[in-house]
Amino acid sequence: MSRGDIGFVGLGIMGKPMVRNLLKADYNVTVFDIVAESVEEVVSDGAHPASSASEVASKNSVIITMVPDSPQSEAAIMGPGGVLEGATEGSTVIDMSSIAPGSSQKIASACEAAGVDFLDAPVSGGETGAIEGTLAVMVGGKKEVFEKHHDMMSAMSGSIVLCGDYGAGNITKLANQIIVAGNIAALGEALVLAKKSGIDPQVVFDAIKGGLAGSTVMNTKGPMMIDGNFDPGFRIVLHQKDLHNAILTGKEAGVPLMVTSMVQQILGSLINDGKGNSDHSAIANFMEDMAGVTISGK
């Protein structure tokens, strides 16, 4: 017996496994993406296809959007053929995209004007977390709407926290992305220093991972740097987008973000080098190029 009907718009590297976890939890899921092949993939897993975001919303009272950035969220929800064209009063839109907090607030206002509930609920955990259903979800919105949909979001996540009003989820996500970016950059520098000094980076990793420097970032990204494996779990181009949104939000709030700005420039340089679709652990490539060594020795 189905636990309920869910609409899902956006079937990228994160969206597809999130839909699969909803299906595994016995939800009926109707999906749309501008890439037809992505729709076909999850339809073969049991989802139902739709021809637009509006059609998804017309068939479901709960609609999740999972797209790359603010313009795509605004278009998918408020634009022609978007969710609000098909949604009815009393529906709920949950935008799980990582976008600018101001954009979330703009979407929330449009939803409220249409009598539609809204949550901004960006996630952290990358492709691995999406596949395993262990994503951390950071939510902005009204408490009663959050509580109503908590169990459904649990099918895709390991933790869900209500962080505040509209936009608070995405402010929290930006804080997360600042910390992750700084950790990866520091880890890349440290392992390049070890390599250039003649010490095996694997030995350094094993020696320090259980101490104060140890972190989920180190445990996840260190082995990728050591193996020279930069297949994307979270792409550089997306992390650069997040840091750009963080810097804009910092400017609005009067908060200088010096470390964030530096790492964003590193990411921009890597994008110019054609590495935008590499995993963000490839931040280490920037340090490798400057030092004239590779951590992996490849």
Q: How far is CA 239 from the centre of its chain?
A: 9
Pairing mode of beta strands 92-95, 123-124: unpaired
Q: Given the structure tokens 């969220």, which residue do they identify?
A: 73
The whole-angstrom separation of Cα 235 and Cα 274 is 12
Name the 3-class secondary structure at 169: helix
CA 260, 261, 262, 264 dihedral sign is positive
Picking from 68, 112, 103, the residue whose alpha carbon sits closest to that of residue 9 is 68
Active-site choice (106, 173, 221, 275)? 173
**Residue 123: helix, strand or coil by DSSP?**
strand
Task: Write the Ramachandran bin of 141: left for phi over 0, alpha for psi from -120 to 50, otherwise beta.
Answer: left
Is-catalytic flag, 173? Answer: yes
* Percent of residues in the chain assigned helix, strand, coil, to nearest 5: 55, 15, 30
Nearest Cα residue to 156 out of 7, 42, 15: 15
Using DSSP, state whether 5 is helix, strand or coil: strand
Active site residues: 173
